[in-house]
Structure 1
Amino acid sequence: MFKTSFTLLALAISTATFADEVINKKQLTDAQMERVVVSGSRIFESIDEVPASITIINQQQIEEHLKVNPELQSLLAQMVPGLAPDTGSSSNTGQTLRGRAPLIMIDGVPQSTPLRNGSLGIKSLDPSAIGRIEVIKGATSIYGNGASGGIINYITKQAKSDGKTEGEISLSSRFSAVKLEESAGARLSAAINGRADKFSYLVTASYEENGVQRDAKGDILGLQYGLSDAVTQNYFTKLGYDFDDEKQLQFSYNYFSSQQKTDLGDVVGDMSLGEKTYAIHVPPELQKQGKPQGPEGNENITLKYTDYALFENTQMTLDLYMQDIENVFFFSPNLANQGENYDGGQSIIRSEKKGARATFNTQIDFDSIEASFIYGIDALTDVTSQPLVDGRIWVPEMDMQSVAGFLQTKWVIADDLIVKAGVRKESIDLTVDDYRTLKLCKTPTQCSVPINVKGDTIDYDATTYNIGIKYNLDEKFSPFLSYSQGSDISDIGRLLRAATVNDIGQIQTEASIIDNYEIGFNSQFDNVRIEVAAYRSTSELGTTNKFNEVTGVYEPVRAPQEIWGYETLVDYTISANLKLLATYSYVEGKNTEADVYLGSKQISPPKATANLNWRPSEAMSLTLSYLYVGDRKRFAANDDGKYVGDQGPVESYNIFNLTGQYQFADNWQGFAGIENLFNEDYFPARAQSYTFGGYNIKGLGTTATVGVKYKF
């Protein structure tokens, strides 16, 4: 539960606050919703007026994928060009967006922990609570720290406005079709919403217990960030009150927990020999040590007030939020110190955020120009640390205080030419007390040297800019060009825990300014929509890791980086009941100082996807999805034939999924899904490229889901 009182008070709006309320008032259709985005500029606007690459995943697409795999990592990898392939685990480490870390948000409230990025932000909400997902690609500072790769914003469902109570209950089971033994799990989700005069309410709940997960040979997948025997709970509430047609108050609460509670133990293989790590039943002394890994009851509380007519042509939303995160990681022998009787350790990332934001949106119409001015103030306190369960401190408490002001303008000239320009001025104070780095020993004689580090308050002041132009010349060709900057101090914790100097002022903790350039176009023909984008992003201070052979510890290296790539999307309506959505994305990057390629923690292999939806009748639909992950072999092996760090070669693989649903009564629907339809025996891209212990885990073998949904 929240442990400290709310200390900030400022003005604000979140990404979806204003837009969701406008959508609720206007009651847009599903088709219209697909043409709407709100995250990029913090206002409700059409995609046609955004000079950047946008991906919108609607509720139907979310529900279809939920029938084959309930994990958001899998859904996003399938639907978002530029996002790295699914990791097949509870962690999204290595699942970057265009080679950089995205900021994960729920209704505009950050879920990531950028000060010590544990890469668990994507899995922070159950898909059954999500109305749509908006993905804005490329570095942006519109929401502050942590969005060097862009924004992934989960927009939660809204209560219906027709007054009557509605609800649904879904029950399903997921199990291995290769070997059923111990693999069957159960999932229950329910939702209710309605409106009573000026009061609206939405409540969703989900509970899921996984069985063991098996690969194509029937073996249980390895446990590191594993999902075997995981128990996941999510409870979400959204309450609203309309004072009148123009003024609204909304309260939301989200609780999410997902932990692996198992009696299994790993049989560790060697990726350099092509050996997988898999799990078996073992005596208690050989089982996975420590607390169950995963989010341990993360909570969000948000309060929003919206006035659609504060002044003439001006709207306002105030937004206060609190968040408490506690993510537990697996027990690792790399956190050993034999001299103090520690044979390993288990870390926890703790983060408490308290934020307040205000956005004002003023609309002015000239003779042939429509102008929008979006401006406001953001304030945030983020206290993050990474202690070990046994009491040792790995990353000391970091107390970040941030205040920012911003102005974003949009000019629609003669209905066809859109010009957007903005600026954000941010001031950050990061305070760290005196601390001592942790002594870690790979072997009794191979240890890091602990250092007493003098703490201090580090000041960051950054002004970032963006400008974009889009010309809606014709439906058949609508080009855009954009430049945007992001200011990023993410993962300071990794730098602090690996300090080699005795003063925090001497650690290379400078903020990284990311410059993002993008050019592309959209084309709409009678039954075909095409999107193409190419991009390049540079930063003077990116962060990678290098193995120290003396201490056995991976240490951060800060050096300039350049990342580039391109993406294509084709949406083809073959006939009234047959539709195809296909994507291809390519990304590459280098440390430009050393002229070497970046590893797979940032750069993913080429990826292609296809989704073919067939609706033979009003009651029935089938979807066949395809994922192709290509080769990436940029690094040479050492003299012993082994690769290091995240530099392992990636071999291509192909995965097919099949889902279907049938409406056999007005209120009843049956559904089924098959993941890895042809039982491909493969290592996911991350498993192939990561040489760190325990990541060499196979992908899921053929796995089936069957269930039923009742609506009332």
Structure 2
Amino acid sequence: MHFPTSDSPIRFSRAHRPLTLASIAALFGALPALALAQDTTEQDTMVVVGSRTPSEISQIPGAVWVIGQQDLREQLRAGADLKTALGKLVPGLDLAPQGRTNYGQNMRGRSTQVLIDGVSLNSSRGISRQFDSIDPFNIERVEVLSGASSLYGGGATGGLINIITKKGEREGFHLATETSVTSGFNEDDDLSYRLAQSISGGTEKIKGRISAAYEEQGRHYDASGQEIFPDIAQTDLQGNRRIDVMGSLDIQLTEQQSLQMAAQLFDSGFEGDRGVYFPNLDAASPNLGDAETRDGYSSDRNPATERRMVNLQYHHGDLLGQDFYLQAFHREEEASFQAFPYPAADGGYEFRASKQNTDLSGLKALFDADLSDSLSLTYGVDVDRETFDASQMFFDKAISDASGGLVQQNAGVEPRYPSYQVDGLSGFAQSEWQVSDGLQLSAGVRQQHMDVEVEDFQGIPGGKNDYNATLLNASALYDFGNGHQNWLQFSQGFELPDPAKYYGKSAEVSVAENPLSAIKTDQVEIGWRYRGADWMTQAALYYAWSDKAVENGEDLSVNVVDQKKRDFGFEGSVKRYFDNGLELGTTLHMVRSEQKNANGDWQKRDARYASLSSATAFIGWKAPNGQRSARLQASHAFDLEDAADREIKGYTTLDLSLSQALPVGEVSLGVSNLLDEQYSTVWGQRAAMFYSPYYGPEYLYDYQARGRTFTLGWSMSY
């Protein structure tokens, strides 16, 4: 995590900010997108998540965390995936569930908006696969803004995560290679491997990069050496194959104008032949007991995430005397699930698997103007359209029963949820006033308008309704000139609950009679950060509240309840540097989520939705010549118990990563779950609450964590 190293921040007007192709590549908020310069130092680190325009961290009145390549690399060496790495590096973000889903990985107890180069990966249909979206090889850095934000669209009630991808970095011709293998040394199939290659380069006017990353996952085993039972609810990554192809082209059109084009093809899906065998499907009294994992699995629909995305960004440094940014994008996504056992009318079980398609297109325009030496104004408009449809494949019951669920053959496809279209039109304005050398005031407003059109579904009439939300923010930031800063902030966020799972649940729920309610979140925050020669710290106290809450019914349909919800807590990080290359650090997030009951009393929120408090600590060392490094890290999730005495048990794990420079490239060795702790993942414990007993016994859903695993890697840039 990086902060400016100077005792007092560098201050300059927006008109005099360096607008080279690399520096303007940060773009802005809902456009936070073009990648920053590869050689950016801590002293001039600039981000876009805090203000929608490139700004130094020291000028942002809020908790901002920047995860650079080195931070990510240290986590990946120990075998972490992207969501796991971020959960251990960003204090306000929950520790990650293992598997494909990131359901419940909230920030400050609420939902997170995830973006790639400013293009949102969130959808109105709440499919929690935002991190099943990119190979870390293609990530330049990750910018994180904690807390509700009125500067962005729906979904940013808990925070923002903007993944900035690598671009062509300098003139000439350059290549980079990474490869790794991971195993827990259990059975022969306990082996995963990864290979990635990129080519980049260009001239002073044109730079480009193209890359391909490939990963093949084997089976996973817990600390007792037992094969982990698959996550049949949200799917996992055992037997998964991932391919991520990305390309970008940066063109300096004129001294004041630049254009950036980027595209991605992402395919992450199950390719194995092991599945769940249910021995009692064809019994006199069918049940889901005694299930086990076996070879011989085949299905006409397998778990997968497929994404195609294009992103065009244009900048003019002096249009009508202002900076002008324009972004156009399109994202197509297909999310498939695996065969899942539903209770059948005859008392047995029938297997079905859904496939959900989302298309998102948008245009974002922004002007950034200096009205005076101390006053600036940012304003613009966001336009987007999201379309959604879903199908459900039914599998031949006789074949499923006879094979114990190992063979799933297509017997027909029907709509799964009502199709819908969401059109968004929003305008925003944000002003910043430098009152004195130390005091900065800012305020802004966003007017959010959304039209939702839902189609008829299984006899349930569709219809149209619209939503309008006025979102405000105001803040004060004081710089003491000695490395210390304090801020006070108020901000509002907005989210639209899942239309598909709300309107498709019964004939009694229709657009005309039961319009879906939107949810607005208010938040206040007080924070402090300090950057000295040897210290890097940041901390914030926050309180967020809303008048409504989203809950799931027994059949997992969505309900919006008129009950007040609040989340409050503390997040902070401390890092200490020593002259001999030693580093010590810790993060802490203490959060409490509450909801008012029918009697008007505050009580602990349902354990299925509430966030767990967490903490990390590490000791690291880097040789002065950069030839070798080591890092030992502990992560702890605290226990959680709700008002109904449902409990999620926490855990503590240790991870180790080592690296050594070679005459050719660098080799690394990582050990995840070093002490081989046996525990159930947070998602596994929540899934048991969600799906059992309605969809079967708890053991089917209690997804276990991986035991000790080793990752050996090699990389080289040349």
The DSSP-based 3-state class of the residue aligned with 1:61 is: helix
Hey, what's the Cα distance between the residues in 2 that align with 1:229 and 1:611?
32
Hey, what's the Cα distance between the residues in 2 that align with 1:16 and 1:64?
29
- RMSD of the TM alignment (CA)? 2.5
Hey, what's the Cα distance between the residues in 2 that align with 1:237 and 1:415?
43
Hey, what's the Cα distance between the residues in 2 that align with 1:651 and 1:268?
28
- The runs of 5 or more residues in structure 2 that have no matched partner are 1-25, 280-288, 395-412, 693-699
Counterpart residue number, 1:199:
206
Hey, what's the Cα distance between the residues in 2 that align with 1:132 and 1:414?
32
The DSSP-based 3-state class of the residue aligned with 1:382 is: strand
The DSSP-based 3-state class of the residue aligned with 2:114 is: strand
Listed one character per residue, the Cα deviations across residues 628-665 of structure 1 (whole Å, up to 9, x for unaligned) are 1111122445xxxxxxxxxx412231111111111112
User: Equivalent of 2:261, from 251, 255, 259?
Assistant: 251
* C-alpha spacing 1:401/1:61, structure 2 compared with 1 (3 Å): same
* Contact kept in structure 1, 2:216 and 2:241, CA below 8 Å: yes
Counterpart residue number, 1:699:
705
Counterpart residue number, 1:688:
685
Listed one character per residue, the Cα deviations across residues 328-382 of structure 1 (whole Å, up to 9, x for unaligned) are 1232223x5446997031112210011011011112333xxx2221111110000
User: Equivalent of 2:454, from 432, 440, 460?
Assistant: 432
Q: How far has the Cα of 1:37 moved from its partner?
A: 1.8
Counterpart residue number, 1:61:
71
Hey, what's the Cα distance between the residues in 2 that align with 1:555 and 1:374?
37
Residue correspondence of structure 1 range 102-121 to structure 2 within 5 A:
102-113=112-123, 115-121=124-130
The DSSP-based 3-state class of the residue aligned with 1:389 is: strand
Counterpart residue number, 1:347:
354
Q: How far has the Cα of 1:596 moved from its partner?
A: 3.5
Hey, what's the Cα distance between the residues in 1 that align with 2:46 and 2:476?
18
* Contact kept in structure 2, 1:544 and 1:557, CA below 8 Å: yes
Hey, what's the Cα distance between the residues in 2 that align with 1:130 and 1:194?
17
Whether 1:385 and 2:389 are equivalent positions in the alignment is yes
Counterpart residue number, 2:423:
401
The DSSP-based 3-state class of the residue aligned with 1:76 is: helix
Moved more, 405-414 or 610-619: 610-619
* Contact kept in structure 1, 2:31 and 2:119, CA below 8 Å: no
Whether 1:411 and 2:428 are equivalent positions in the alignment is no
Whether 1:539 and 2:520 are equivalent positions in the alignment is no
Q: How far has the Cα of 1:581 moved from its partner?
A: 2.3
* Contact kept in structure 2, 1:578 and 1:615, CA below 8 Å: yes
Hey, what's the Cα distance between the residues in 2 that align with 1:55 and 1:610?
17
Hey, what's the Cα distance between the residues in 1 that align with 2:593 and 2:243?
38
Hey, what's the Cα distance between the residues in 1 that align with 2:509 and 2:634?
52
* C-alpha spacing 1:267/1:531, structure 2 compared with 1 (3 Å): farther
Hey, what's the Cα distance between the residues in 2 that align with 1:593 and 1:599?
11
Structure 1 segments, 4+ long, off by >6 Å, are 339-342
Structure 1 counterpart of 2:653, which letter?
A: I
The DSSP-based 3-state class of the residue aligned with 1:116 is: coil
Hey, what's the Cα distance between the residues in 2 that align with 1:132 and 1:268?
44
* Contact kept in structure 2, 1:530 and 1:571, CA below 8 Å: yes
Hey, what's the Cα distance between the residues in 1 that align with 2:136 and 2:590?
27
User: Equivalent of 1:298, from 302, 307, 330?
Assistant: 307
Q: How far has the Cα of 1:327 moved from its partner?
A: 0.7
Hey, what's the Cα distance between the residues in 1 that align with 2:584 and 2:393?
49
TM-score (norm 1): 0.87
Hey, what's the Cα distance between the residues in 1 that align with 2:30 and 2:686?
37
* Contact kept in structure 2, 1:679 and 1:702, CA below 8 Å: yes
Counterpart residue number, 1:322:
330
Counterpart residue number, 1:4:
none
* C-alpha spacing 1:627/1:196, structure 2 compared with 1 (3 Å): same
The DSSP-based 3-state class of the residue aligned with 2:230 is: coil
Q: How far has the Cα of 1:604 moved from its partner?
A: 2.0
Residue correspondence of structure 1 range 29-48 to structure 2 within 5 A:
29-32=40-43, 35-48=45-58
* Contact kept in structure 1, 2:497 and 2:516, CA below 8 Å: no
Counterpart residue number, 1:579:
583
* Contact kept in structure 2, 1:16 and 1:155, CA below 8 Å: no
Counterpart residue number, 2:29:
15
The DSSP-based 3-state class of the residue aligned with 2:667 is: strand
The DSSP-based 3-state class of the residue aligned with 1:506 is: coil
Counterpart residue number, 1:333:
341
Hey, what's the Cα distance between the residues in 2 that align with 1:92 and 1:106?
16
Counterpart residue number, 2:134:
125
Structure 2 counterpart of 1:556, which letter?
A: N
User: Equivalent of 1:624, from 629, 632, 637?
Assistant: 632
Counterpart residue number, 2:177:
169
Counterpart residue number, 2:655:
657
Q: How far has the Cα of 1:688 moved from its partner?
A: 2.7
Structure 2 counterpart of 1:623, which letter?
A: R
Structure 2 counterpart of 1:591, which letter?
A: Q
User: Equivalent of 1:237, from 247, 251, 258?
Assistant: 247
* Contact kept in structure 1, 2:593 and 2:610, CA below 8 Å: yes
* Contact kept in structure 2, 1:408 and 1:421, CA below 8 Å: yes
The DSSP-based 3-state class of the residue aligned with 1:345 is: strand
- The runs of 5 or more residues in structure 1 that have no matched partner are 1-11, 270-275, 437-451, 638-647
Listed one character per residue, the Cα deviations across residues 423-448 of structure 1 (whole Å, up to 9, x for unaligned) are 11122111012222xxxxxxxxxxxx
Listed one character per residue, the Cα deviations across residues 442-482 of structure 1 (whole Å, up to 9, x for unaligned) are xxxxxxxxxx3221111111111111111112435421111
* Contact kept in structure 1, 2:30 and 2:153, CA below 8 Å: no
* Contact kept in structure 2, 1:561 and 1:592, CA below 8 Å: yes
Listed one character per residue, the Cα deviations across residues 51-101 of structure 1 (whole Å, up to 9, x for unaligned) are 111111011111222222251111111111121121111100111111111
* C-alpha spacing 1:70/1:589, structure 2 compared with 1 (3 Å): closer
Listed one character per residue, the Cα deviations across residues 303-324 of structure 1 (whole Å, up to 9, x for unaligned) are 1111112133x11111110110
* C-alpha spacing 1:90/1:291, structure 2 compared with 1 (3 Å): same
* Contact kept in structure 2, 1:260 and 1:292, CA below 8 Å: yes
The DSSP-based 3-state class of the residue aligned with 2:353 is: coil
Hey, what's the Cα distance between the residues in 1 that align with 2:703 and 2:168?
41
Counterpart residue number, 1:556:
559
* C-alpha spacing 1:68/1:401, structure 2 compared with 1 (3 Å): same
* C-alpha spacing 1:600/1:73, structure 2 compared with 1 (3 Å): farther
The DSSP-based 3-state class of the residue aligned with 2:191 is: coil
* Contact kept in structure 1, 2:333 and 2:357, CA below 8 Å: yes
Whether 1:307 and 2:316 are equivalent positions in the alignment is yes
Structure 1 counterpart of 2:444, which letter?
A: G
Q: How far has the Cα of 1:506 moved from its partner?
A: 2.3
Listed one character per residue, the Cα deviations across residues 28-68 of structure 1 (whole Å, up to 9, x for unaligned) are 533236x4221222110011111111111011111222222
Hey, what's the Cα distance between the residues in 1 that align with 2:182 and 2:484?
44
Listed one character per residue, the Cα deviations across residues 596-628 of structure 1 (whole Å, up to 9, x for unaligned) are 322244322220012322113521011111101
The DSSP-based 3-state class of the residue aligned with 2:100 is: coil
Counterpart residue number, 1:6:
none
Q: How far has the Cα of 1:195 moved from its partner?
A: 1.6
Hey, what's the Cα distance between the residues in 1 that align with 2:365 and 2:291?
50
Hey, what's the Cα distance between the residues in 2 that align with 1:590 and 1:160?
47
User: Equivalent of 1:592, from 591, 596, 599?
Assistant: 596
* C-alpha spacing 1:704/1:522, structure 2 compared with 1 (3 Å): same
* C-alpha spacing 1:530/1:630, structure 2 compared with 1 (3 Å): same
Whether 1:357 and 2:361 are equivalent positions in the alignment is no
TM-score (norm 2): 0.86
* Contact kept in structure 2, 1:13 and 1:358, CA below 8 Å: no
Hey, what's the Cα distance between the residues in 2 that align with 1:664 and 1:28?
23
Hey, what's the Cα distance between the residues in 2 that align with 1:611 and 1:387?
46
Counterpart residue number, 2:227:
220
Whether 1:140 and 2:144 are equivalent positions in the alignment is no
Moved more, 480-489 or 255-264: 255-264
The DSSP-based 3-state class of the residue aligned with 2:641 is: coil
Counterpart residue number, 2:397:
none
Aligned residues: 650
